[in-house]
Structure 1
Amino acid sequence: MKLLLKYMKPYRGLAIITVLVLMVDIAGTMLVPTLLANMVNIGVATKNFNYILQNGLAMLGATALASGGALLGSYLSAKLAANVGRDIRNAVYDSSLAFSGSDFERFGTGSMITRTLNDINVIQQSIIMTIQMVLPVPIMCVMGIALATSIDYQMGILLAIVVAVVLVIAAITVANAAPIFTRLQRFIDRMNVVLRENITGVRVIRAFNKEEHENERLDDVFSRYAKAAIKVNWLFAGLDCSAFFLMNIAEVAVLWFGGNRVGAHAMEIGSISAVLEYAMLILFFIMMAQIVALTLPRAKACLDRADEVINLVPEIRDCVRPAHDPLDAKGNLALDAAVVADAAVTADAAVVADAAEPDDDADVVAAFRHVTFRFSDADEDTLHNLNFRCRRGQTTAIIGSTGSGKSTVAKLLLRFHDVTGGAIQFNGADVRGMTRESLRDAIAYVPQKAWLFSGTIADNLRFGNEAATEEQMRHALDVAQSQFVYDLPDGLDSRVAQGGTNFSGGQRQRLSIARALMKRADLYIFDDSFSALDFKTDAALRRALVPETRDAATLIIAQRISTILHADQIIVLKDGEMAGIGTHEELMETCEVYRAIAESQMKGGDGNGR
């Protein structure tokens, strides 16, 4: 609830106006029965036509006032809900942008989609319905019972008893509904996950003739959701029945007791109609409020889920700068004891001291110093005691078997995860003392899975440089061997499907490389980015890269020996540890792991790729 109040606070003026407008609506509505009672009791009884006409016009004015209030109130409440929903949705999305890889895994993609879209839609609808259906209830109850009591105190007491009974039933029903709605949101999460898997993996499902199996899996998820939804419908059905039953009982009671009091000359006949109208209005709004109240536990569950995302402290975050600690020219922090503590570093004093010292070589862009890393849910280290440097104007390559930790190196450099031991330096500064923005600004990254965004080819290239000219884009495409773009009817304006699925794997990789080249970076990371290219294109692309990256360091992560033959240094990983480091020729002589990889890939050659 605190989350909702926080995001409604900027719109408190709008909220106050909305409530005032709704009170005008209620006042107009509650005025009509009194005017009607006066018309009957006085105008009809005395046959005073002018009095009847005056009260009729007053009723018409009250009705117009109520209608105008209802219309304006609906608009204002919808506007308020839309603004609050937008702000919460933006907050959820903004928080997710700061998540580390582990943070994302905690929630899952399907759940994040549900929380950002479905959950906040539920919150918006609940705000609208609460303002229009729930907030008026206490005001109507107080005004209705007060007006009924002013007409006849016994009828007022009767109305108060009926209202109290209905409110107790509503409270019990809502309490029982809360856990069911929480489960409903979890089932929606699960449905999102399974549906997403089936839609994106439809080709694999068909290739393995698993349509029936996946059908059964989906049916199981849908059935669980249906059972929970049916329970909710039972609650709604029971609530409707009890509410209408009580309304009819109240109507009969008012007519019975009112008729007896009219017969006893204790009240007038017009007053019965007024009390009856108040009873129907109050009970109708209570019934509507009950239906809305049944959805409030679901909205509460949605608010809690949004709050989980918004208030999650990211595993990786920029260090808090002490007041006395100035920023450098790039807006980064120097590594000191406070920064190390804030980053939750587990390195020993010797490693921290070593990381804090400036590197001897001015041309070193990135340096791994005794780096150890373990995923939070893992039992052993993924990387252990890595020591190497990436120098400006040189190419560093990393090779190893699947699962050796190659891609994790790139993720640590980009600070998608933080080291659990040791330190990574970038341009002489510990990455934990840099802002993530400044660090990632200096790195151009091509991921292992080439991903393109929906839009045009030009849109995707400008992702690396918003101010890129057509000439710059064409140059990047030429370097990335993406001349196929020129053969497309629309060229740079050719449409790209989500994920780039309307291009082949090799074309997606080349476009991803071109996107990275649009950025002038200190370090270029190619994470197995040449795997879908044929040997000729691979060689041509690497030759074209040399002049483009001569002022930067290049890190190539690969499984193919031919891709890294001419690297200035090759790092061989085995089970997360360095099994060797050197040039291709040196490793062929000294590293058994590298030699085994080379020989398995180069049978029939001389071990040097010829």
Structure 2
Amino acid sequence: MKTILRFLKPYQRLCIFTLLVMVLDVAGGLLIPTITADMINVGVNNGDMQYLIRKGILMLAITLITSMGALLGSYLSADLSARIGRDMRNALYDASLSFSAYDFEQFGTGSMITRTLNDVNIVQQGVVWFIQMVLPVPAVCIMGIIMAFSIDTAMGFLLIGATLFVILLAVFVTRKASVIFDKLQAFLDRMNVVLRENATGVRVIRAFHKEKYEEKRMKKSFEDYAESAIKANRLFAGLESAALLAINLCIVLILWVGGNRIGAGAMEIGDITALTQYAVMILFYIIMAQMVFIMIPRAMICVRRISAVLSHQPEIKDGNTVSSVQADNEEVARFVNAGFRFSDADEETLSNLNFTCKRGQTTAIIGSTGSGKSTIAKLILRFHDVTSGVVLLGGADIRTLPQARLRDRIAYVPQKAWLFSGTIADNLRHGNTQASEQEMKHALAIAQAQFVEELPEGLNSRVSQGGTNFSGGQKQRLSIARALMKKADLYIFDDSFSALDFKTDAALRKALREETKDAAVLIIAQRVSTIMNAEQIIVLEDGKIVGIGDHASLLETCPVYQDIAKSQMKGAEPNE
């Protein structure tokens, strides 16, 4: 509830005005039966045509006003719902931007998509229905029962009884619905996950001939969701039947009791018409409110799921103090006794790291798979925080720097090259939003991405999501060019040359050396040929530094490096 109030608070006036319009619309609707009763009791019984015309004009005017009020109320409700939905999605997106990889794992990508799209949509629907169908109910019930009592006391108590019966029925159904909708949203999450895996992994599925298996898995997800949805629909059907039965029984009782009261001279014929319309209107609003109340548990579950994301405390936070970064410091990045352990791990992934990335030098990291090479890059970028020791950038502890300021000074090419849908120029401008065409062409030339010039549309060539319309080597070169668009103090290449042939790899590294001469370069690689010319090579094994130096010295002093080099070179040094 606090989450809903948080998003409603900026629109307090709109909420109050919308509610006022809905209540006035209800009040206008309740006047119609009273006018109808007067027309029958006075105009028809006395044959007063002038009275009937006056009342008819009054009824028409009230009908037009209430119709306009209903239209205005619907518009205001929809506007309020749209504003709340927009604010919720923005809040969820902003919250997700502060999440680390571990934070995302707590929710799951599929669940985050469901919460941002489906859950918010259900909350929006709940807001509209609640304003239009639930909030007017107290006004309808109170005013309708008061008018019924003003006609006849017995009829007033009869309406109270019918109202209480339908309300108790709604409470019973709502409790049962809450459990069902909780499962329904969980099944929807599962459907999203399986669908996403099938869509992104379709080539793997085909390669291993697992179509039938995935079809069964998808069918199971659909069946689980359908089973819960059917149960929910049964509740709707049962509630609707019970509510219609209540309305009809109430009308029958009004006619039966009212007929006796008319015979006794306590009521007039027109009063029966008014009471019937009061009953229908009251019970209609209660039934509509019941339908909404069945959806309310689902909406509240969605609110709790949204609230869980918004209240989640990110693993990585900006520091309370801001240290000054020395822009001209020779030591761009430095690890001092740094160590890291994942929160759910028993052992440290990295431990006791001590090395420096200096301006104008290339530092390379090599090691076996799982030795922690990519984790070092993530520590510098604060995708994770060290659990011991410190990482410095320009002499300042990176935990004391705003994350935006830290990452402004670093250009990063991830291990998995990722391109965004749009054009090649759009992707390059991620590194520099103000980049000119000449600057983009220069970055492409350094990255050995001359293939762009051969494309019919050049820089304006379309890129599909993830860059699936380019080969692995092309995606890597475009990712490198994007990083080079940024004038950074530190360039990190996380295994970014793995899809390149040796000739392109050598040409790219040669061009990079001149382009990044005023910055520090950190290269994470599997191939010795990629890093052998680096001024400093760090050898990792099981998260520890087992060797540090240049290529020649490590071949003499580091057994792990010797083994890696021998396995790749068959005992001979490679030539560029």
Q: TM-score, normalised by structure 2?
A: 0.98
For the residue of structure 1 that corresponds to 2:521, the secondary structure is: strand
Q: Which residue of 2 aligns with 1:315?
A: 315
Equivalent runs, 1:244-255 vs 2, <5 Å? 244-255=244-255
Say whether residues 1:64 and 2:31 are aligned partners. Answer: no
Write the letter of the residue equivalent to 1:277: Q
1:161-176 equivalent positions in 2, closer than 5 A: 161-176=161-176
| 1:598 equivalent among 555, 562, 565 | 565
Partner residue of 2:44? 44
Alignment correspondent of 1:298: 298
Q: Which position in structure 1 is the counterpart of 2:432? A: 465
Aligned to 1:17: 17
Matches within 5 A, 1:301-450: 301-321=301-321, 327=322, 362-450=329-417
Tell me if structure 1 keeps the 8 A contact 2:547–2:558. Answer: yes
Q: Is the 8 A contact 2:323 2:396 kept in 1?
A: no
Question: Would you say the 8 A contact 1:24–1:65 is kept in 2?
Answer: no
Separation in 1 of the partners of 2:345 and 2:122?
Answer: 37
Q: Write the distance in 2 (CA, Å) between the matches of 1:193 and 1:66.
A: 47
CA displacement, residues 43-87 of structure 1 (integer Å, 9 cap, x when unaligned): 101100011111111111111111101101100100001001111
Contact 1:565/1:608, CA 8 A, preserved across alignment: no
Question: Hey, what does 2:573 align to over in structure 1?
Answer: 607
Native 8 Å contact 1:585 1:608 kept in 2 = no
Query: Gapped runs of 5+ residues in structure 1?
Result: 322-326, 331-357
What per-residue deviation string (whole Å, max 9, x for no partner) do you get for residues 235-288 of structure 1? 111111110111111011111101110111110010001000010111111111
Report the counterpart of residue 120 of structure 2 in structure 1: 120
- Tell me the equivalent position of 2:461: 494
Match of 1:344 in 2: none
Counterpart in the other structure of 1:551: 518
> How many residue pairs were aligned?
576
Q: Distance in 1 between matches of 2:574 and 2:497?
A: 19
The reply on whether 1:271 has 2:238 as its aligned counterpart is: no
Indicate the residue corresponding to 1:78 in structure 2. 78
CA drift of 1:608 comes to 4.8
Q: 2:323, 2:397 within 8 Å by CA — same for their partners in 1? A: no
Structure 1 counterpart of 2:572, one-letter code: D
What SS does the corresponding residue of 1:260 show, helix, strand or coil?
A: helix
What's the % identity of the aligned pairs? 61
Offset of 1:228 from its aligned partner? 1.1
Between 1:425-434 and 1:15-24, the stretch displaced more is: 15-24
Q: What are the superposed Cα offsets for residues 97-131 of structure 1, whole Å, 9 maximum, x if unpaired?
A: 01111111111110110111110011111101111
Does the Cα contact within 8 Å between 2:320 and 2:400 map onto a contact in 1? no
Whole-angstrom distance in 2 between the partners of 1:303 and 1:100: 23
The answer on 1:582 being equivalent to 2:549 is yes
- Which residue in 2 is equivalent to 1:228? 228
Q: Which amino acid aligns with 1:597?
A: I
Question: 2:358 & 2:186 partners in 1: Cα distance?
Answer: 49
Tell me the alpha carbon deviations over residues 6-60 of structure 1, each in whole angstroms, 9 at most, x when there is no partner: 1111111111111111122111211100000000001101100011111111111
Q: Give the match for residue 2 of structure 1.
A: 2
Q: Following TM superposition, by how much is the alpha carbon of 1:320 offset from its aligned partner in structure 2, in angstroms?
A: 2.3
Report SS of the residue matched to 1:239: helix
AA matched with 2:334: A
Structure 1 position 135 matched with structure 2 position 102? no
User: Matches of 2:108 and 2:367 in 1, distance apart?
Assistant: 29
Q: Distance in 2 between matches of 1:75 and 1:329?
A: 52
Task: Specify the code of the residue in structure 2 equivalent to 1:365.
Answer: V
The whole-number CA distance in structure 2 between the counterparts of 1:60 and 1:112 is: 51
Deviation track 1:150-171 (CA, whole Å, cap 9, x = no partner) reads 1111101100110011101101
Q: What is the TM-score when the length of structure 1 is the normalising length?
A: 0.93
Gaps of 5+ in 2: none
1:188-233 deviation digits (Å, cap 9, x = unpaired): 1111111000001101111111000000011111111111111111
Which residue of structure 1 aligns with residue 196 of structure 2?
A: 196
Aligned-residue offset at 1:328: 5.5
Q: Which residue of 2 aligns with 1:256?
A: 256
Shift in Å, 1:362: 4.1
Q: Are 2:517 and 1:560 aligned?
A: no
- Measured on the aligned residues, the alpha-carbon RMSD in Å equals 1.3
Divergent runs of 4+, >4 A: 327-330
Give the conservation status (yes or no) of the 8 Å contact 1:28–1:62: yes
User: Which position in structure 2 is the counterpart of 1:353?
Assistant: none
